Chain A
Amino acid sequence: MKPPAFQYLRPTSLSEAVDMLASAGEDAKVLAGGQSLVPMLNFRLLKPTALIDINRISELDFIHEDEAGLRIGALTRHRVTQTSPIIAKRFPVLTEAMQHVAHLAIRNRGTIGGSVSHADPAAELPLLMTLLNAKIKLTSKSGTRELSPSEFFLGALTTALEEGEILTEIELPYLPDNTCWGFEEFAQRSGDFAIVGAAVTLTINAGNCDECRIAVLGSETPIRIPDAERMLVGPSPSAEVVTAAAELASEAAEWNSDLHATAEFRKQLVRTLVARALKSALDRQRSGH
């Protein structure tokens, strides 16, 4: 058999899961969609003593429109996030990004909580969490806490999740009215992990850009680029400003270098994709979408 032996536990409620995780010790792992964890087990890159399968905890599977934001349960499958009309209405940029996440059968199993917890530096969902100022909610036996993306994503495949903690939900604060968006990614094939991705929002009222967010994937963790964001704020951003902001963005981090792309190539891609994302956001605003 490919995977190493482990004890399998299948809680049906969050409180049961948290208890099991607490008593199973530090080498226990949560099993969500299994689309990242099971490959690692099949390669024997991990040897957990126990897997706590959260797939039957229906209380973690929801999308709720609350007063201040949209709450998405950790067990929400990629397919559901991709096709949810509420998400398409509130966060079309997330709907667009989901088209780039993996393939049909993977999206049928993979979960938002799993993707965010896994924190693959080439994954789209952590990028979107960073763009949308997500509140990432964690629960353990000793209580709950809520982290911002920059507090949560610490490095490649490394998060602030502590032993015994389960990610339970993501809350996305609603965007202000008159916010347009852009999303661009470069991947080698359809459904592959991104080599570089850029996601932006611009809030424009009466020709004035009140707020701009620029998030980029291509370094150890997804990042925001405040210096470039500030350049866009003000009366109707010109093409020159877009170019300058994209240039600045490309200098903003140490980009990853791996067998798919060198850091130098990623830097060029950041410049190109940030410019394209900003331009497509501005085009959307002009055409009234």
Chain B
Amino acid sequence: MSDLHHISVRVNGALYEGDVESRLLLSDFLRETLRMTGTHVGCEHGVCGACTIMADGHSVRACLMFAVQADGLSLQTVEGLGKVSDLHPLQESFRQHHALQCGFCTPGMLMTGVDFLEKHPDATDEEIREGLSGNLCRCTGYEHIVAAVRNAAAKKKEASR
């Protein structure tokens, strides 16, 4: 059954137009159609958080949306966060605090972290842990990730003063 839909979606500022099958997951659209493999895929049922991206300013699981649902939306993936030469402050904080080892969970952690800090600029450690609770990391033991987010929050506050 070919059920094709024309979509027009902004990804990190660039407009993409094309036809997608109904059942194409947004995560597969990003990785396979657009060849943007920064968004990782772990469990494909919402549990691991590796595929987290921003859609119209809110973090979402790319594996739990269909590409056709992104029609008209503006998406941000880890590729849109910063460049190696110009890291996003949260990426810089991850680097400084050794908040990654294999890096598999990192894109999802970063996108969740960005949304979380936007919504909770004054977060306590407990709130940071709760905020990241939907993202699994098999390497770090989380301590350094929490430290990185805490530090990025402090930096952000300093900068806005």
Give A246 to B134 CA distance when docked, in angstroms. Answer: 32
Q: Given the interface contacts A4-B23, A8-B3, does A109 sit within 8 Å of B134 by beta carbon?
A: no
Give A41 to B46 CA distance when docked, in angstroms. Answer: 12
Chain A residues, CB < 8 A from B24: 1
Chain A residues, CB < 8 A from B112: 104-105
- B23 engages A79 (CB within 8 Å): no
**Is A38 part of the binding interface, using a Cβ–Cβ cutoff of 8 Å?**
yes
Q: Given the interface contacts A39-B64, A105-B59, A106-B46, does A7 sit within 8 Å of B3 by beta carbon?
A: yes
Chain A's interface size range is 20 to 34
- B46 engages A39 (CB within 8 Å): yes
Give A188 to B42 CA distance when docked, in angstroms. Answer: 21
Chain A residues, CB < 8 A from B104: none
**Among candidates B25, B60, B68, B115, residue contacting A1 with C-beta atoms closer than 8 Å:** B25
- B68 engages A34 (CB within 8 Å): no
Q: How many residues of B contact A (CB 8 A)?
A: 34
**Is A190 part of the binding interface, using a Cβ–Cβ cutoff of 8 Å?**
yes
- B69 engages A39 (CB within 8 Å): no
Chain A residues, CB < 8 A from B58: 79, 105, 108
**Is B149 part of the binding interface, using a Cβ–Cβ cutoff of 8 Å?**
no
- B134 engages A106 (CB within 8 Å): yes
- A38 engages B46 (CB within 8 Å): yes
**Among candidates B3, B49, B63, residue contacting A42 with C-beta atoms closer than 8 Å:** B63
> Of residues 53 to 70 in B, which have CB atoms within 8 Å of A's CB atoms?
58-61, 63-66, 68-69
Give A10 to B67 CA distance when docked, in angstroms. Answer: 13
**Is B116 part of the binding interface, using a Cβ–Cβ cutoff of 8 Å?**
yes
**Among candidates B28, B44, B60, B134, residue contacting A102 with C-beta atoms closer than 8 Å:** B134
Give A8 to B45 CA distance when docked, in angstroms. Answer: 20
Chain B residues, CB < 8 A from A4: 23
**Is A35 part of the binding interface, using a Cβ–Cβ cutoff of 8 Å?**
yes
Chain A residues, CB < 8 A from B69: 34, 53, 55
Chain B residues, CB < 8 A from A105: 49, 52, 58-61, 112, 115, 134
**Is A5 part of the binding interface, using a Cβ–Cβ cutoff of 8 Å?**
yes
- A104 engages B25 (CB within 8 Å): no
Most buried by B among A3, A38, A102: A38
B116: nearest chain-A partner, CB-CB? A104
Chain B residues, CB < 8 A from A43: 45
* B113-144 to A contact mask, C-beta < 8 Å, 1/0: 00110010000000001110111000000000
Write the residues of chain A forming the contact surface with B, with a CB cutoff of 8 angstroms: 1-8, 10, 34-35, 38-39, 41-43, 51, 53, 55, 79, 102-106, 108-109, 189-191
List the 5 closest pairs (A to B, CB-CB), nearest first: A103-B134, A8-B22, A39-B45, A190-B133, A108-B58
Write the residues of chain B forming the contact surface with A, with a CB cutoff of 8 angstroms: 1, 3, 5, 21-25, 28, 44-46, 49, 52, 58-61, 63-66, 68-69, 112, 115-116, 119, 129-131, 133-135
New A-B contacts (12) at CB < 8 Å, excluding given A108-B59, A190-B129: A3-B25, A5-B21, A7-B22, A8-B66, A39-B45, A41-B23, A42-B63, A51-B22, A108-B58, A109-B60, A109-B61, A191-B133
28 sample A-B contacts, Cβ–Cβ < 8 Å, listed by A number: A1-B25, A1-B28, A2-B23, A2-B25, A3-B23, A5-B1, A6-B3, A7-B3, A7-B22, A38-B65, A38-B66, A42-B44, A79-B58, A103-B133, A104-B134, A105-B49, A105-B58, A105-B59, A105-B112, A105-B115, A105-B134, A108-B60, A109-B60, A189-B133, A190-B129, A190-B130, A190-B133, A191-B133
